[in-house]
Amino acid sequence: MQHLTILGSTGSVGVSTLDVVARNPQRFAVTALAARSRDDLLFEQCCRFKPEYAVLLETAAAGRLQKKLQDAGLSTMVLSGAEALEKIAALPAVTTVVAAIVGIAGLRPALAAARSGKKILLANKEALVTSGALFMAAVRDSGAELLPIDSEHNAIFQALPGMRDRTLADCGVRRILLTASGGPFRNLPAGQFARITPEEAIAHPNWVMGRKISVDSATMMNKGLEVIEAHWLFSAPPEVIEVVIHPQSVVHSLVEYCDGSVIAQLGNPDMRTPIAHALGYPERIASGADFLDLARVGNLSFESPDLERFPCLRIACDALRAGDSAVIALNAANEVAVAEFLDRRIGFADIPELIEKVVLATPVQSVSSLDDVERIDRKAREEAMAACAERCMPQTATGS
């Protein structure tokens, strides 16, 4: 029996995880659930799965949840704040932590799970993007087990041999090919990008995801972050990681070997498949996802990404080559830019320009601690907010 903490239980990954858990009750018990502010959905999850702990980042939301649970006669202990996330990630009774909090807020609890030697199902990109060396060192030092549940990285994991202490080259790997759907604007003329609305950007053609990740997919920053993540997960030099556009989202990623073989993992675009793989690993368990009907799919197509139309992918790859401080700034600026776009304070086309401005303005610095990561992150966010304010001012003046 695995005892789970699910960080980000009310998001798309958390909801999918709980669906898989419910299909396999003999294998899993939920010890703790955590969310940012959605006390209504977290209450429903507590009623169904009866965890020992429930955590909400927002104090007011935690208070509302506490009252609902008391009225329902449930004994779940409610905690609030960032430190509570770290506590439930490191609980001695917990064997498995699903790290699915979006953004830098998920870094400390994911690192707490790594330092505690847990089995970690990682969906939080920022843990590796902003502090890859620190995170992987914590995994090695504690003996934690790290399993990716992003569909692309899970596909690569399935297509690789057991590496243990061997390098990709030792295993005969020539290239890692990350697939990307191309998002909702793959065929939209670049001249129309300035008129893209938040509603259009979050309408992904294949996947059901949160708002922030959906915008990242639309700008292709999501794929840039995944390149950085793959670098750390698989000890892959940047030059062996490539991105290929695959609009159908059936081939989730591929690994090419030196003998010319290419091994791919295929499946319907449903996050329950990689989640079930990681939860059950090394066994296979039911996920609830529909089985793939290739005859019905018909055609699978592939093309190279257009880096001029989607510069975020190029900016992310450049940041990876530049080093730790650049990728921390990249992530911080992207989080700010996406939030500002969703709040309609900047345009869609402003996002890559703002990110690149912040990355280029960030001095190259060594990173040896979590304090270093958070210091660079704060400074980059300040720079990004200032850059956003400059872009917002003409709109404000026009509307006044």
Q: Which fold, 323-399? A: Rna Polymerase Sigma Factor; Chain: A (1.10.1740)
Contact present, 120 and 139 (Cβ < 8 Å): yes
**Sign of the dihedral through C-alpha 286, 289, 292, 296:** positive
Nearest CA to 209 among 348, 316, 102? Answer: 102
Q: What is the pLDDT of residue 178?
A: 97
Contact present, 365 and 383 (Cβ < 8 Å): no
In degrees, rounded to 5, the angle at the alpha carbon of residue 97 between the alpha carbons of residues 92 and 98 is 165
397 falls in which pLDDT band (50, 70, 90)?
A: very low
Residue with tokens 């939030």: 339
Contact present, 161 and 171 (Cβ < 8 Å): yes
Nearest CA to 123 among 95, 153, 143, 94? Answer: 153
**DSSP of 81-111:** SHHHHHHHHS-TT--EEEE---SGGGHHHHH
Q: d(Cα 338, Cα 257) in Å, to the nearest integer?
A: 37
DSSP strand pairing (145-148 vs 119-122): parallel
- Is the pLDDT assigned to residue 395 strictly greater than 60? no
75 falls in which pLDDT band (50, 70, 90)?
A: very high
Query: How far apart, in Å, are the Cα atoms of 339 and each of 189, 360, 395?
Result: 24, 21, 17
Question: pLDDT per residue over 13-39, tens digit each?
Answer: 999 999 999 999 999 999 999 999 999
Locate the domains of the chain by residue range: 2-148, 156-297, 323-399
- Is the pLDDT assigned to residue 208 strictly greater than 90? no
Q: What is the pLDDT of residue 149?
A: 96
160 falls in which pLDDT band (50, 70, 90)?
A: very high
Q: d(Cα 386, Cα 233) in Å, to the nearest integer?
A: 33
- Is the pLDDT assigned to residue 242 strictly greater than 90? yes
105 falls in which pLDDT band (50, 70, 90)?
A: confident
Which of 73-77, 107-111, 123-127, 335-339 is predicted with the least confidence, judged by mean pLDDT? Answer: 123-127
Q: What is the mean pLDDT of the chain?
A: 93
205 falls in which pLDDT band (50, 70, 90)?
A: confident
**Helix extents (H) in the chain:** 12-23, 39-49, 59-71, 82-89, 107-115, 126-142, 151-159, 198-201, 211-219, 221-233, 272-280, 294-297, 311-322, 324-342, 350-361, 370-399
Query: How far apart, in Å, are the Cα atoms of 87 and each of 55, 58, 76, 211?
Result: 10, 16, 15, 27
Q: d(Cα 311, Cα 350) in Å, to the nearest integer?
A: 11
- Is the pLDDT assigned to residue 170 strictly greater than 60? yes
> Helices 107-115 & 370-399, crossing angle to 10 degrees?
160
119 falls in which pLDDT band (50, 70, 90)?
A: very high
CATH architecture designation of domain 2-148: 3-Layer(aba) Sandwich (3.40)
- Is the pLDDT assigned to residue 162 strictly greater than 80? no
Nearest CA to 253 among 278, 220, 227? Answer: 227
- Is the pLDDT assigned to residue 157 strictly greater than 70? yes
Max Cα–Cα distance, the chain, nearest Å: 65
Q: d(Cα 279, Cα 93) in Å, to the nearest integer?
A: 17
- Is the pLDDT assigned to residue 393 strictly greater than 60? no
Contact present, 228 and 320 (Cβ < 8 Å): yes
Q: What is the pLDDT of residue 390?
A: 85
The distance from CA 222 to its chain's CA centroid, rounded to whole angstroms, is: 8
Q: What is the pLDDT of residue 351?
A: 96
pTM of the entire structure? 0.92
Report residue 204 as tokens.
């992904």
Nearest CA to 337 among 378, 385, 295? Answer: 385
**Sign of the dihedral through C-alpha 384, 389, 390, 392:** positive
Contact present, 341 and 198 (Cβ < 8 Å): yes
